[in-house]
Amino acid sequence: MIGTTILLIILMGLFAHLYKNAYKRHDNFPPGPPSLPIYGAYWLVLLKGLNNLPTAFIKYAKEYNTKVVGFYLSNIPSVVVNDPALIKEVLNREEFDGRMDLIMGRLRSFWKKLGIFFTDGYFWHVQRRFTLRHMRDYGFGKREDTLESTVAQEIKEMIDMSINGPKYPAEKELVNGDLIHLPHYFAVPFINGVIHIVTRSTVPRSEYHKLWDVARGALLFQRSSNDLGAALSLTPCLKDIMPKYSGYKDLRDGNQALLDFFTKLVRDAIDTFNEDYDRHFLDIYIRKMNEEKKLNKTTYSEDQLVLLCTDYMFPAASAVQALLTMLVDRLLLHPEVQDKVHEEIDRVVGRDRMPTLDDRKNMPYTEACIREALRMDTIVPLGVSHRATSDTKLGGYDIPQDTMVNLNFVTLHMSKEIWGDPENFRPERFIENGQLQLSKDKTLPFGAGRRICAGETYARQTMFQVFSCFMQAFKVSTADGKPKTKPAVRLQGIITSIPDGWVKVTPRV
């Protein structure tokens, strides 16, 4: 009897302790789900919306009647912002420019804190400013004729693979008769464009298989960090205990494809570096790196240069291809949209030449299709996690230093107050009196503020080139010829994508 009583007292004490910890939070911290042992609110968030975290946090925002959902991942205070105005506020406040120091960032950068995606403070500021200043001279961030011509040539090769058939064995994996395999069919123009920016050269068609390996690796990395990936960040030992099921193996293998590619590129540039002149961006960085070796402290290094190239390549090797693939998926659902794109291309450009960036201003519907795809299929739905670098306030709540801050861009891109009918794919919403109205585009697919995606201009320009030339050349339909009745499932990792697959392309003659 005494033993039973003692056991009950212990259990009651344990329950009281767990209950207290479940609802323990910083003063005036945003409301949200309680914490469970080990991973905090992680399991409750997954129960609310496994494979669709943006929807889970929208539900929590309604449940707790708040625009900022607060919770704890283990002992890490975390918030998700579910309001368009507050999202823009976070993006434009310097105290939210920090990045979380998580295993995902370390494993991809030689177990150091390198690159620009996952760095902050002085290091990030110096490296980002230097790279953008000099990469701009080679077409990154502005229009540049040599880059545009390079991308156009790669698009010609891409189209030739379908019309005239594969020339090399690796191409047979992406082209089979009148079928093409997406998303990697779109990869080469984007990837070779970035390579041209940093090296002033490109990988020839006979070696495209190297670029497809990079694209597959990048997409593997992006997809591997899914809803279950937080467990790896909270308990890094899982990488050794269960590397496959924790996602670590795919993250590592996917990232390694890019590291191997750029390590060789950078090493070749260093080995052939000439003090007398600069051949390309890599030379400019190497020169600066050599100068700073004389200093006691520097942010410049060979490993950092590899990570810079990797960071700038990641979106080109994964996100933009995924976006165009989802756009094709929308066209299969809405053949009338495809007809309008074809009509505009034929009217503005014709069939005797390829569309160029000069045509972009005269092709509002084609451009609007890309913008509508960026709106409906938010490419990075929760953004890259920010970190509060000091104690601050947001939406009336207190946000402690080192809080992880995520932005639910879906609440902006699917807001009925802003768009009226956000669930409909309607490119016309960006057009007025036959002209594209940028003021109507309230989307933030590339973020904003100091953390805005550095490659936005390059991505938008190249997506227009690739999409308009592709649509000029082909009519797309389902691989089996049957009408498409529902959109493909959206896969949520760091980015949104759909499963790889085949579509039919018919040359427009």
The neighbouring-strand residues paired with 398 are 393
The whole-angstrom separation of Cα 454 and Cα 456 is: 6
What CATH number did the domain enclosing 356 receive? Answer: 1.10.630.10
Residue 13 covered by a domain: no
Residue 10 covered by a domain: no
Residue 451 covered by a domain: yes
Provide the residue range defining the domain that includes 465. Answer: 20-507
Which pLDDT score is estimated for 3?
64
- pLDDT band at residue 14 using 50, 70 and 90 as cut-offs: very low
Residue 7 covered by a domain: no
Q: Percent of the chain beyond pLDDT 90?
A: 81
Per-residue pLDDT of 227-243, as tens digits, reads 656 778 888 888 888 88
SS (H, E, C) 186-220: HHHHHHHHHHHHHHCCCCCHHHHHHHHHHHHHHHH
Would you put residue 38 in left (φ > 0), alpha (ψ -120 to 50) or beta? left
User: Residue positions in the annotated binding site for heme?
Assistant: 453
Residue 61 has pLDDT above 80, yes or no: yes
For the purposes of burial, counting CB atoms within 10 Å of the CB of 485, is it exposed (0-12), middle (13-18) or buried (19 or more)? Answer: exposed
The neighbouring-strand residues paired with 40 are 36
Residue 5 covered by a domain: no
The whole-angstrom separation of Cα 501 and Cα 274 is: 46
Residue 169 has pLDDT above 70, yes or no: yes
Which pLDDT score is estimated for 21?
59
Per-residue pLDDT of 353-407, as tens digits, reads 999 999 999 999 999 999 999 999 999 999 999 999 999 999 999 999 999 999 9
Residue 238 covered by a domain: yes
Q: Where are the beta strands (DSSP E) in 300-419?
A: 386-387, 392-394, 397-399, 404-407
- pLDDT band at residue 23 using 50, 70 and 90 as cut-offs: low
The whole-angstrom separation of Cα 481 and Cα 506 is: 11
Which pLDDT score is estimated for 24?
82
SS3 label, residue 501:
strand
Residue 225 covered by a domain: yes
Compute the Cα dihedral for 373, 376, 382, 386 and give only its sign.
positive
The whole-angstrom separation of Cα 128 and Cα 108 is: 18
Which pLDDT score is estimated for 16?
46
Mean pLDDT of 64-82: 96
- pLDDT band at residue 7 using 50, 70 and 90 as cut-offs: low
CB contact at 8 A, 331 and 338: yes
Number of domains in the chain: 1
User: Residue positions in the annotated binding site?
Assistant: 453
Residue 15 covered by a domain: no
